[in-house]
Amino acid sequence: MKFKNNVLLAGALALAVALATPPVMAAETAGGKAAGPRIADFRLANGLALVVIPDHRAPVVTHMIWYKVGAADETPGKSGLAHFLEHLMFKGTAKHPAGQFSTVVARIGGQENAFTSSDYTGYYQRVPSEQLRTVMEFEADRMTGLVLTDAVVLPERDVILEERNQRLENNPRSRLGEQMDAALFLNHPYGKPIIGWRHEMEQLSRDDAIAFYKRFYGPNDAVLVIAGDIEPDAALKLAQDTYGKVKRVDGIASRQRPQEPPQVSPRSLTLADPRVEQPAVQRSYLVPSFATAKANKLSGQSEALEVLGHILGSGSNSRMYRGLVVDKHVAVSAGAYYDSSALDMAKFGFYASPGAGVTLPQLEAEADAVIAQVIDKGVTDEELERAKARMIADAIYAQDNQASMARWYGQALMTGATVDDVRQWPDRIRAVTALQVQDAARQWLDKKRSVTGYLIKDTTPRAEQPAGIQPVKAEKRS
Q: Which is nearer to other proteins, 46 or 165 (CB)?
A: 165
- Least distance from other proteins to the Cβ atom of residue 334, Å: 11
Measure Cα distances from 266 to 88, 173, 180, 183, 361 in Å: 40, 21, 12, 10, 15
Q: Which is nearer to other proteins, 391 or 417 (CB)?
A: 391
Strand 111-116 to 280-287 pairing = unpaired
- Least distance from other proteins to the Cβ atom of residue 312, Å: 14
- Least distance from other proteins to the Cβ atom of residue 399, Å: 5
Q: Which is nearer to other proteins, 218 or 335 (CB)?
A: 335
- Least distance from other proteins to the Cβ atom of residue 250, Å: 32
- Residue ranges of alpha helices (H) inside 198-300 are 198-201, 206-216, 232-241, 290-295
Helix (H, G, I), strand (E, B) or coil at 243: helix
Spatial CA neighbour of 414 closest among 265, 224, 207, 141: 224
- Least distance from other proteins to the Cβ atom of residue 85, Å: 16
Burial of 292 from C-beta contacts in 10 A (0-12 / 13-18 / 19+): buried
β-partners of residue 77 are none
- Least distance from other proteins to the Cβ atom of residue 107, Å: 5
Burial of 136 from C-beta contacts in 10 A (0-12 / 13-18 / 19+): buried
List, in order, residues 6 or more apart from 33 with CB less than 8 Å away.
none
Total Cβ atoms within 10 A of residue 266: 14
Q: Which is nearer to other proteins, 186 or 396 (CB)?
A: 396
- Least distance from other proteins to the Cβ atom of residue 471, Å: 5
β-partners of residue 287 are 346
Q: Which is nearer to other proteins, 35 or 264 (CB)?
A: 35
Contact 335, 320 (CB under 8 A): yes
Q: Which is nearer to other proteins, 277 or 475 (CB)?
A: 277
Catalytic residue among 86, 139, 163, 178: 86
416: left (phi over 0), alpha (psi -120 to 50) or beta: left
Contact 243, 49 (CB under 8 A): no
Helix (H) or strand (E) holding 153: helix 150-164
139 counts as catalytic: no
Contact 168, 275 (CB under 8 A): no
Task: State the greatest distance between any 2 C-alpha atoms of the chain, in Å, as a whole number.
Answer: 67
Torsions phi, psi of 92, nearest 5?
100, 160
Q: Which is nearer to other proteins, 77 or 471 (CB)?
A: 471
- Catalytic residue positions, numbered: 86
